[in-house]
Amino acid sequence: MLAERNALLSAAARQVRITAIKAAALFGESPKGGWSAEIRPEDSIHAIIAVHTDAGITGYGSVFTDGRLVQAGLQVLEPLFRGETALEPERVSEKLHQNTFWMGRGGTLTHTISGIDIALWDILGKVTGQPVGRLLGGTYRRRAQPYCSLLMEAPARMRDVVADYRDRGFRAFKIGWGPFGRADDSKLDEAIVRAAREAAGAAARLFVDAGASDALWPHGLKWAMRTAEMLKDYDIGWFEEPLRPDAIEDFCHLRRVSPVPVAGGEVLTRRQAFVPWLVRGAFDIVQPDVTKVGGLSEQRRIARMADDFGVKFVGHGWNTAVGVAADLQMAAACPHTDLVEFIGGSAYLDGICTEPFALDGEGYLTIPDKPGLGVRLDRDKLARYTPDSAALFPA
């Protein structure tokens, strides 16, 4: 600890340069996603990024995509970040975006930059001795409520799953994907929601995610309108991804007529893509994913823009402990963001840190106030899920 503290003090007095950026694909216990082409445990859909510096300080980020794509993205970006300062996340990330636009905006490179950006903010916090949330804008809150994100199941199983996580201390839940909307049975859809509400209890917050960004989603506006009417009877806090992700006209209409708030935006990347959705009033809640939208730098700008339009921002970095840590820091920095997504039962969230997240007695998570993101990765635990874990830590 003394050596680390001395390194931080030395780094604060000079520039800190990027020496290398490494990525480790996570696989072996990848949780199901409820997709039509279901995720297998051995699939890589998440990766951890480490930014190493000449000061011996390493920052960590997370990317929601196949780790092989992230590793390829780093090879493309390496000439742009090699030797750059690690203390200017917004400028460096924008440099990476601006100089790779012609290779395709919004795909692998944007996702990879997301992880780099998160890691650079982590470094800046460590060097300055401040939590990232304070650097992003302040401390509006010191804890946030995690909503336990669960796949939809048949009604009896849905009731048992929600009850299990309620017993673990959760007081907010989101159910989504799976058979919802796919069975073309409105009675089944309602039975699933009813079971979840009964298990969660009347006082719990409950959200529903249709998952209409899934492959070949079969429904349109009229289905979404009918379903929204059904959801109001169960005090649903928002209806997420109720329409195909490019159907902006339908989203705008649904928001005007829906008795429950409409949420979306997790598949959009970079701030520019969100402008028409906010200007035209497509969302009540906007959900950029910090691990693919462009990182904390982009997410902060989207959150501020959304607030100017009276739209609530709730992050979507649920996929690893690092993504949740980034969302918690954003929740600290945003005046109206009191929720974070927390996937239930994922090893990549519960099993890669020295100190796993823990709920307090009221079902909240304390926002870390340590320097940086405030979480510490465990080398031995990570080694269970990637052969590249050693590359994430200083030599």
As to burial, measured by CB atoms within 10 angstroms (0-12 exposed, 13-18 middle, 19+ buried), residue 348 is buried
Asked if residue 255 and residue 114 are part of one domain, the reply reads no
Which one-letter amino acid corresponds to residue 256? R
pLDDT the model gives residue 345 = 84
Could you report the per-residue pLDDT of 14-62, keeping only the tens digit for each? 689 999 999 999 999 898 888 888 889 898 999 999 999 999 999 999 9
pLDDT the model gives residue 65 = 95
pLDDT the model gives residue 8 = 57
Residues 157-178, mean pLDDT to the nearest whole number: 97
Asked if residue 294 and residue 151 are part of one domain, the reply reads yes
Asked if residue 158 and residue 227 are part of one domain, the reply reads yes
DSSP state of 51: E
Asked if residue 336 and residue 278 are part of one domain, the reply reads yes
Domain that holds residue 148: 134-366
| Domain membership flag for residue 249 | yes
Residue 121, domain CATH: 3.30.390.10
Q: In whole numbers, what is the pLDDT of the chain averaged over residues?
A: 95
pTM: 0.95
Give the residue ranges of DSSP H helices in the chain. Answer: 2-12, 67-81, 89-98, 108-128, 132-136, 155-167, 186-200, 221-232, 248-257, 270-279, 296-308, 321-333, 347-350, 379-382
| Domain membership flag for residue 147 | yes
What secondary structure does DSSP assign to 90-154, as a single string? HHHHHHHHHTSGGG-TTSHHHHHHHHHHHHHHHHHHHHHT-BHHHHHT--S-SEEEEEEEEE---
| Domain membership flag for residue 307 | yes
| Domain membership flag for residue 62 | yes
pLDDT the model gives residue 344 = 81
| Domain membership flag for residue 371 | no
pLDDT the model gives residue 15 = 86
- Residue 132 near residue 373, CB atoms below 8 Å: yes
Could you report the per-residue pLDDT of 192-240, keeping only the tens digit for each? 999 999 999 999 999 999 999 999 999 999 999 999 999 999 999 999 9
Could you report the per-residue pLDDT of 52-80, keeping only the tens digit for each? 999 999 999 999 999 999 999 999 999 99
Asked if residue 385 and residue 356 are part of one domain, the reply reads no
Residue 250, domain CATH: 3.20.20.120
pLDDT the model gives residue 12 = 54
3-state SS class at 344 = coil
| Domain membership flag for residue 104 | yes
Asked if residue 331 and residue 233 are part of one domain, the reply reads yes
What tokens were used for 230?
């059904």
Please say if the pLDDT value at position 13 is more than 80.
no
Cα 367-386-213 angle, rounded to 5 deg = 65
Could you report the per-residue pLDDT of 104-113, keeping only the tens digit for each? 888 999 999 9
Bridge pairing between strands 18-26 and 262-264? unpaired
Asked if residue 236 and residue 165 are part of one domain, the reply reads yes
Question: What is the Cα–Cα distance from 267 to 111, expressed in whole angstroms?
Answer: 11
Bridge pairing between strands 205-209 and 172-176? parallel
**For the chain, what is the domain count?**
2
Asked if residue 22 and residue 102 are part of one domain, the reply reads yes
Asked if residue 160 and residue 213 are part of one domain, the reply reads yes
- Residue 59 bridge partners (DSSP): 51
Asked if residue 354 and residue 233 are part of one domain, the reply reads yes
Nearest to 375 by CA among 27, 60, 16: 60
Q: Name the least confident of 5-9, 214-218, 343-347.
A: 5-9
Asked if residue 12 and residue 117 are part of one domain, the reply reads yes
| Domain membership flag for residue 374 | no
What tokens were used for 113?
């930059």
Asked if residue 240 and residue 218 are part of one domain, the reply reads yes
